[in-house]
Structure 1
Amino acid sequence: MQFEIGGRRFTPAVAPPRQARSVRWGLGAWLLACVVAWPAAAATDGAAGQSSPGQAASWTPLHEFLDRNTGDRGYLGAVSLIARDGRIVDVHVSGHRDLARKVPMRRDSIFRIYSMTKPLTSVAVLQLMEQGKLGLDDPVSRHLPEFSGLQIFTGGTADAPQLAPAQRALTIRQLLTHTGGFATGGQGHEEPTRLLERANLHDSPDLASFSRSLAKLPLATEPGTRFKYDGTGIEVLTRLVEVVSGEAFDAYLHKHVLAPLKMRDTGFEVPRRQRGRIVDLTRMGDDGQLQRDDSRSAQTPGVRLNAYPSGAGGLYSTVDDYACFALMLLNGGEYHGVRLLRADTVDLMMRNQLQGQLDPPVTEFNAGEGFGLGGSVIIDTDKRGRRGSLGAFGWSGAASTYFTIDRERKLVAILLLQHLPNGADNDLPRLATPFYNLVYTTLDAQQDAP
């Protein structure tokens, strides 16, 4: 069993159940729903190495950067999207969709977005909060009784653990902020982590089984005392949505988030007729050559990552679909006349939740980041190490997908690649920081232009 660390590690996939629900897909529906209200400059599908017509010439350095990094020895391909003031101002498509580098990347290419699924799960939870069906500080056991009587690992080994009752209740807010205390790695928590690994939770047939199995395992720390990023607590939230709403999670997400936003190319699996649009998933081989990853979703693109609908990392999507979601949040919870959340709820989502909860109130990744309800929040621009306004919200996915929502600059920036980094010296360079820096440099230049 593998764990997600900072949205950068891959979770093994298992075969999907035969009865799994499939979300409707189709480029025609996407074009009708998402593009017609956008400016003509954003409405034309780009071919590889090209951008939407009518764009400002000042985006050229960003395009050249992406083209260079999707050359013969770089990433297979990339799709980027920039929106300002609620309007898409630039889309660029580079490289190829397949490992053989014969099929050009397209704007409607489908990517595994992994941990960029988490913000959508957060929106589902927050919708139920607005309806009064749950509270962020509710004990999880109020809705999922199996989480009453949790225990803490206090010593011993995985084979002979020493346990004690938890003194704090696990809350929904802690699940959203990765402070639930689960044994998901970290120095000093190796033995309880082994217990979690042995449980093979990602092989669970459904979310109910996942939740029941997890609740039997000891926590590594008291809830609310340590930030440790992982998908485990998010899967509990996914199950909680099912119980509170009375709907299967994939059905709930489709009905209340994806369909209202017309995200027709987003789902936990891809219909066979659309699977030719999925980008190959690569990793770097020991020989320094890109190769197709050996995971199930890489070898059989379009299948579910897990038997259950994973709210922690199970979605496939496209750049335009995800832009619909991000623009909804940028606009305070409303998009093209459809409101998913109240503006004050979006404010809460994008506020650093670790302030006052942890000391120091930052995540394990960067001293300039805090964490909101489903994504990181910039709390110190100097320490962050890349461009972005104070309070900017965003996250990434394990296979090199990235997004940011900067409300001060009225900006959405999305970059989709499809590569699982391994941190080795011969691996491809991470593109997030130079990508964001180029975006902000371009915005500054446009602002200064006469």
Structure 2
Amino acid sequence: MTGQEQIAAMLDRLVAAGEIAGAATLVWRDGRVVQHAAVGWSDRENQVPLRRDSLFRIASLTKPVTAMAAMVLMERGRFRLEDPIIDIAPEFAGMRVLTSPAGALDDTVPAVRAITFEDLLTHRAGLTYGAFHPGPLAAAHAAALGGDIDSVMSPDAWIAGLASLPLVDQPGAGFHYGHSTDLLGQLLARMEGVSLGTLLHRLIFQPLGMADTGFTVSGLKRDRRAGLYGFDPDGALKRLAVAPGGATVEDRPADMTYESGGAGLWSTLDDYLAFARVFLDRPGLDTLRLVRPETLALMTTNRLTADQRARATTMGMPTFAPGNGFGLGVAVVTDPDSAAVMHGKGGVGTVGWPGAYGGWWQADPTDGSVMILLQHNMVELEGLMKGHGLAGYGAIQQFHSLAPAA
């Protein structure tokens, strides 16, 4: 059985067992697509199959796209990495830092310096996601920001709301996964005087031909949206109206102006391939280039200290394997032997980043390959603690192990 057949069979087994509704995969190597599969259902209840061009909410696969837009504007002289963001967002002057993320919101000390653009691009701004923390911080985030993806706040109100919250660490001190990329996207949009969606279309989607990627899905494409699937309290697969935690609304209204540069995009296999190929600036390949090679090298070089990597946690678990670091908006492989698949496992310089809804990708410049898996494996935090949805994340590991033979 070929690698392509093994990948499809693996996904078929998960669909038949009710572990996932479906998934789409793609491997690009040697300048061409060598594997793709769309297995399972876009609409499980009505037996509508997934397609290669099915549209998925890609959650945090959005973050590298926003980071790349920042690199384009940085090259154009719009900001420097060391610039304080208060030049664009004075709302963030005089920030306070919690003495404990689980403590009282008024138990703070002054920030020792301003947040910089590099802090946002490396998740060292002291920003977080409220849901990661017990105590009053979660409720304060929800009240100040609205939904994590589809927020009713205007961009300016959202920026002001985030600035009203205390930080969980001093700027530059440590890696804390959270709203840094959302804020980065809003600052880019503010400095250019357009919406984030317009800016990403201009800087990324149009140059790369990503016609199916955006914060909304137009009426003509709505039948290509993959259904949202999660799990009921007993772990049975369940169709969802909105994403876990109320992060999204069922249908984004036309007057919703906030756009999440950290998690809000819809995309397809082939569109995301066009983006991932930008990281394969390698002799002999048909290179898609958005930034200069030296800027790409800056983006794909680990910028965290050994201590910052070791101390980084997400929901109480270590964020990084020993062989993974973080550059500007993307995880980076520093040691192939001790890297972990979830954040990229390939040659030195391989980049990628996973999404909360089960999407995953990596681009390996050492062999010129891209791997992408998209699915809607939408697990509530409580369900995840019970083991719900683990098979969907396991599919990423299996896909990675089978892809080289495809």
Above 0.5 in TM-score? yes
Q: Which of 290, 297, 304 matches 2:237?
A: 290
Q: SS of 1:95's equivalent?
A: strand
SS in 2 for 1:182: coil
> Higher Cα Rg: structure 1 or 2?
1
Residue aligning to 2:349: 391
**CA root-mean-square deviation:** 3.0
Partner of 1:219: 167
- 1:102-141 to 2 correspondence within 5 Å? 102-141=47-86
Deviations 1:358-408 (A, max 9, x none): 364866423232112222112233433445223211011121111001111
Amino acid in the other structure paired with 2:267: S
Q: For 2:156, which of 208, 214, 223 is the aligned residue?
A: 208
User: Which has the higher mean CA deviation after the structures are superposed, 180-189 or 92-101?
Assistant: 180-189
| Deviation beyond 4 Å, 4+ runs, structure 1 | 155-160, 185-194, 296-299, 301-307, 335-338
Q: Which moved more, 1:182-191 or 1:140-149?
A: 182-191
Q: Which residue of 2 aligns with 1:419?
A: 377
Query: 1 CA distance for matches of 2:19 and 2:111?
Result: 49
- 2:331 aligned with 1:376, yes or no? yes
Alpha-carbon distance in 2 for matches of 1:187, 1:113: 20
Task: Provide the residue aligned with 1:437 in structure 2.
Answer: 401
In structure 1, the partner of 2:320 is 366
- In 1, the alpha carbon distance for the partners of 2:157 and 2:113 equals 24
Superposition deviation, residue 181 in structure 1: 0.8
Equivalent residue runs for 1:160-171 within 5 Å = 161-171=106-116
Change (3 A) 1:173 1:393: same
Contact 1:354 1:361 in 2 (8 A): no
Cα distance per residue 1:313-334 (max 9 Å; x no partner): 111111011111111222369x
Cα offset for 1:201?
A: 4.2
Is the partner of 1:263 in helix, strand or coil?
coil
Q: What CA distance in whole angstroms lies between the structure 1 residues aligned with 2:133 and 2:32?
A: 48
Shift of 1:102: 1.0
In structure 1, distance between residues paired with 2:311 and 2:77: 28
Are positions 1:331 and 2:281 aligned together? yes
**Equivalent position SS for 2:354:** strand
Gaps of 5+ in 1: 1-55, 444-450
TM-score (norm 1): 0.78
Q: 1:428 to 1:157 in 2, by over 3 A?
A: closer
Q: Deviations over 1:1-23 (max 9, x none)?
A: xxxxxxxxxxxxxxxxxxxxxxx
**Same amino acid, percent of matched pairs:** 33
Report the TM-score, using the length of structure 2 for normalisation: 0.85
What one-letter code is carried by the residue in structure 2 that aligns with 1:308? Y
Provide the C-alpha distance between the structure 2 equivalents of 1:266 and 1:188, rounded to a whole number of angstroms.
Answer: 32
| Letter aligned with residue 379 of structure 1 | T
Normalized per residue, the structure richer in helix is: 2
The answer (yes or no) to whether the contact 1:201–1:214 under 8 Å persists in 2 is no
Q: Is residue 97–residue 111 contact of structure 2 (8 Å, CA) maintained in 1?
A: yes
| In structure 2, distance between residues paired with 1:163 and 1:409 | 48
For the 8 Å contact 1:268–1:304, the answer to whether it is kept is no
Structure 2 Cα separation of the partners of residues 172 and 160 of structure 1: 25
* Aligned residues of 2:330 and 2:351 also touching (Cα < 8 A): yes
User: In the aligned structure 1, how far is the partner of 2:124 from the partner of 2:21?
Assistant: 36
Distance 1:238-1:276 versus aligned 2 partners, 3 A rule: same
Amino acid at match of 1:264: A
Is residue 97 of structure 2 the alignment partner of residue 152 of structure 1?
yes
* Contact kept? 1:270, 1:302, Cα under 8 Å: no
Q: 1:162 Cα shift?
A: 2.7
Q: Which amino acid letter does the alignment assign opposite residue 52 of structure 2? A: R
> Relative to structure 1, is the Cα distance of residues 187 and 97 closer, same or farther in structure 2, using a 3 angstrom cutoff?
closer
Q: Is the 8 A contact 1:189 1:220 kept in 2?
A: no
Measured at CA, do residues 92 and 155 of structure 1 come closer, stay the same or move farther in structure 2, by a change above 3 Å?
A: closer
